Amino acid sequence: MPTGSQPVDSGSKPHADGMATAAHLLGDRWTMLIVRECFYGTRRFGDMARNLGIARKVLTTRLKDLVAMGILERRLYHTEPDWYEYILTPAGRDLYGAILALLHWADVHHPELGEHVRLHHMPCDHDTHAVVVCAHCREELDPREVEARLPR
């Protein structure tokens, strides 16, 4: 595979860089859990700290990172004192599918992690899990059926 045949650090490997970026963004346990918490509708520092059982200092750092990465937006919701809430940006919301795909993988391959929370898809009114499909034919993507090609 062409992208597999060059040093990752050459700077000419967008997917390697994309992978590294995604890994950096989602790789930290707390970062992923904070984003998940935002998907659950939590917006405020105190609620996140309590729900996640995370040290406030760590939460402060991770929230700063997520804002810098354009995944969360910080909004003032109270003045004197100034209090902020954290909202998912469109880029942050776009992480949802990837996160659900990772969750499903963990549910299937690490069932020992315990009982699962059911995800209910309201439009079709069925319990669901993430399936990753081809944008064109909507069939599930299988590594044996996908070829990576360098741009023309």
Contact flag: residue 81 with a second copy (CB under 8 A): no
Q: Which is nearer to a second copy, 80 or 147 (CB)?
A: 147
Beta-strand relationship, 83-88 and 72-78: antiparallel
Minimum distance from residue 97 beta carbon to a second copy (Å): 3
Contact flag: residue 40 with a second copy (CB under 8 A): yes
- Piece of 22-30, 60-68, 74-82 that binds a second copy (CB under 8 A): 22-30
Contact flag: residue 9 with a second copy (CB under 8 A): yes
- Piece of 10-18, 59-67, 74-82 that binds a second copy (CB under 8 A): 10-18
Residue keyed to tokens 């937006």: 73
SS3 for 93?
Answer: helix
- Piece of 60-68, 75-83, 139-147 that binds a second copy (CB under 8 A): 139-147
Classify the C-alpha dihedral 139-143-144-145 as positive or negative. Answer: positive
Calculate ∠ Cα 139-142-147, nearest 5°. 105
Contact flag: residue 57 with a second copy (CB under 8 A): no
Render the burial of 78-109: b for 16+ CB within 10 Å, e for the rest.
eeeeeebbbebbeebeebeeeebeebbeebee
Contact flag: residue 37 with a second copy (CB under 8 A): yes
- Binding mask 96-125 toward a second copy (x if CB under 8 A, else -) reads xxxxxxxxxxxxxxx--xxxxxxxxxxxx-
